[in-house]
Amino acid sequence: MAISEAGKRQLLEASRSLGVEIGDKLDRFSEYYDLLVAENEAINLTALNTETQVIHKHFVDSLTCFLSGRLEGFLKGIDVGTGGGFPGIPLAIVNSGLDLFLLDATRKKVEFVNRVCDRLGLPNAHALWNRAEVLGQQAAHREAYDRVVTRAVSPLNSLYELCLPLLKVGGFLIAQKGPEVEGEIASARSVEGKLGGRLLEVIHLKLPVIGDPRSLVIVEKVAPTPDKYPRRPGAPQKNPLS
């Protein structure tokens, strides 16, 4: 079930309003939608599965990461908690210079993401089955990435411990959040510094067409993360730093 012609026009226009041109990539988005709908019931990828919901609340929502102004050019990145591939796969479709690892702890979701990458022909997107706490202590991944992107994973005080150890000094975390993010930011203020991060800016926005409010939290990695972080799997969520 490919995206309808009306749906393609909506996706094209909404993306353009974000400053993102996807005209020659529409077929890839349509094929991604086809796979998502076909496999969603068996794998439980998303509760948002109508054409309009997928276009605006998954595809366009993912593309708002480009409003950070920090996803252009040739970069090595990782999407922490990618689920059904958001925001990572839409970002990889648009920027072929973004070499992006798509990390999730649920094997079935990673297998789905791998099938999508193969079907869409995305040599710059790589599905990865593991936990961020484990990767953050592995030499191949610790402080190895220029960018970390993430959406709807956990509150900032635990999210920072999952993500900042993966970033190179000078790299950026781009965390997609809802509109009411100030409380999370306040409670995580001391945590970002402990892990080598510095809050750079918060971008408040509304999704084109549907108007749903969102926030992008941008954190710069300014110093190495102490070796003791991240802690063992599950600890950042069960006992967040303060």
| Known binding-site residue numbers for S-adenosyl-L-methionine | 81, 86, 104-106, 132-133, 151
Cis peptide bond prior to 230, omega within 30° of 0: yes
List the one residue out of 51, 108, 52 whose CA is nearest residue 85. 108
How deeply is 18 buried, as exposed, middle or buried, from its count of CB atoms within 10 A (0-12, 13-18, 19+)? middle
| Separation of alpha carbons 110 and 74, rounded Å | 24
**22-to-10, 11, 31, 64, 101 alpha-carbon distances in Å:** 12, 9, 14, 13, 21
How deeply is 195 buried, as exposed, middle or buried, from its count of CB atoms within 10 A (0-12, 13-18, 19+)? buried
Q: What is the per-residue DSSP string for 84-128?
A: TTTTHHHHHHH-TTEEEEEEES-HHHHHHHHHHHHHHT-TTEEEE
Instruction: State the virtual CA torsion across 71, 106, 29, 175 in degrees, nearest 10.
Output: -30
Which positions make up the binding site? 81, 86, 104-106, 132-133, 151
